[in-house]
Amino acid sequence: MIDAATQVFAVMGNPVSHSLSPVMFNRAFSETGYNGVYVAFQVTAIGDGISAMRSLGIKGASITIPHKVSILDFLDEIDPMAESIGAVNTVISHEGRLKGYNSDCLGAIKALEEITHLEGKQVAIIGAGGAARAIGFGVKSRGAGLTLINRSISKGEILAAALEAEFIPISELRSLPFDMLIQTTSVGMTPHIHQSPVPAALLTPGLLVMDIVYAPLKTRLLKDAIEAGCRTINGLSMFIHQAAFQFELWTGSPAPLAVMKQSLMDSLNPSQKRAS
């Protein structure tokens, strides 16, 4: 029941029409009895979104594409890990001050380490945005070697330099001599489910392929990877782990992980049937 005491939370990005965060968080609030509501705001200028957050008294926000880096200029305080990463995807308001955190790093590392260990592995990340920055920071912190692959050479080189990683323009990609490939862009996301950033011919058995896109659960890249004999990780695990951090930060209560996962599966399964 929404009333005058209901705390408001939101996801801010562009686009956000595909987001299942409102479904997941509202189910979690209901399950735990927390008086909160979570909505999606399509925001083109993140400075305006943060101003609205202040003016309307919004308690917390998830920050998504393309604002995870540019938001840094509009916050009062940044958590040390998020500052080291250089990207924020979580904001909480406390006594009128907005503080930014990064749960992408935590979520990705937990998802990967459920399957394998990272130390000594060679990891390639596709993308040069906020998620790539966070996940790259995480895999490096676990002792993995890192190569960035990106369409924009300038953005890719800048992030590679910041992470002390190698860089390959995607136009020059001829092979994937890595242990893991992590896809962090929006390529393949609903409704563009037939797109993949990597030619299927480059995927070989033994490669672990992770796509952080969760809608659809089985992206074109993951379908190609399965056919090539690769191991795969879909975007659901990372998404739930990073969302659990957000829920606990915002509410001070343990996240109902099973309920959050089930809410996503309930929403995704019908779309999977239609997509197939």
| Composition of the chain by helix, strand, coil, percent to 5 | 40, 20, 40
CA-atom Rg of the chain in angstroms: 18
Reference 7, options 206, 217, 271, 250; nearest CA is 250
CA dist., res. 84 & res. 10, Å (int) = 25
Determine if the peptide bond prior to 256 is cis (ω within 30°).
no
From 59, 68, 121, 218, the catalytic residue: 68
Q: Could you confirm whether 223 is annotated as catalytic? A: no
Strands 90-94 and 97-101: antiparallel
CA dist., res. 64 & res. 70, Å (int) = 11
CA dist., res. 172 & res. 149, Å (int) = 9
SS3 53: helix
Can you tell me which residue has the tokens 């692959």?
149
The catalytic residues are 68
